[in-house]
Amino acid sequence: MAAQYIDINKALTDRCRNSDGKAQQELYHLYAKQMFNVCMRIVNNSADAEDILQESFVEAFRLIHEFRGDSSFGAWLKKIVVNRSINNLKKRRLTLFEQVPDTEPIYEDVDNGNEIQYEVQKVHSAMLALPPGYRLVLSLYLLEGYDHAEIAQILNITESTSKSQYNRAKAKLREQLGITL
């Protein structure tokens, strides 16, 4: 007899559509830590990240009827979290991006074959020290898996600005970590 696959998240989201508080609590516990980390990578402030996390879940549960299941609930929730995090940065009126002309050359990654491992804390600290725009694009691209076209759309910037910010963030990280190519 073949094992039957049960999509637990689908069952939970269906129950949430019926205002099932216990299902909401289960989804919260499944995703809270991961989404908090997304917030932290973007806003770099634990109090703001906690607020954004709570607001994101409230919004997700309020709009659960709009979740069509085209993607996982986690991916849908992550969009809400990323957008709220970015809006938080905008509210703080941080200058996120340097103005970059669209004609600036974009340098692709060069894999020099060296496998250098650094302690996670050292890399994390170096990322937190990046200017907000650099950190945001780097986080969205490397850690959240968005491509430059998606980042450009999310942040209302050009794709070349996203690529430039990403390349500058990598260069700054290399400098902070003492990596030479």
pTM of the model: 0.67
Task: Give the DSSP letter string of the chain.
Answer: -PPPP--HHHHHHHHHHTT-HHHHHHHHHHHHHHHHHHHHHHH--HHHHHHHHHHHHHHHHHTGGG--SSS-HHHHHHHHHHHHHHHHHHHTT--------TTS--PPP---S------HHHHHHHHHTS-HHHHHHHIIIIIS---HHHHHHHHTS-HHHHHHHHHHHHHHHHHHHT---
77-110 residue pLDDT tens: 999 999 999 888 878 765 555 544 444 444 444 4
Whether the pLDDT of residue 150 is over 70: the answer is: yes
The verdict on domain 8-91 having CATH code 1.20.810.10 is no
Same fold yes or no, 8-91 and 97-181: no
pLDDT tens digits, one per residue of 26-60: 999 999 999 999 999 888 899 999 999 999 999 99
> pLDDT above 90 covers what percent of the chain?
40
Q: Is the domain defined by 97-181 classed in CATH 1.10.1740.10? A: no
- Domain locations along the chain: 8-91, 97-181
pLDDT, tens only, 12-32? 999 999 999 999 999 999 999
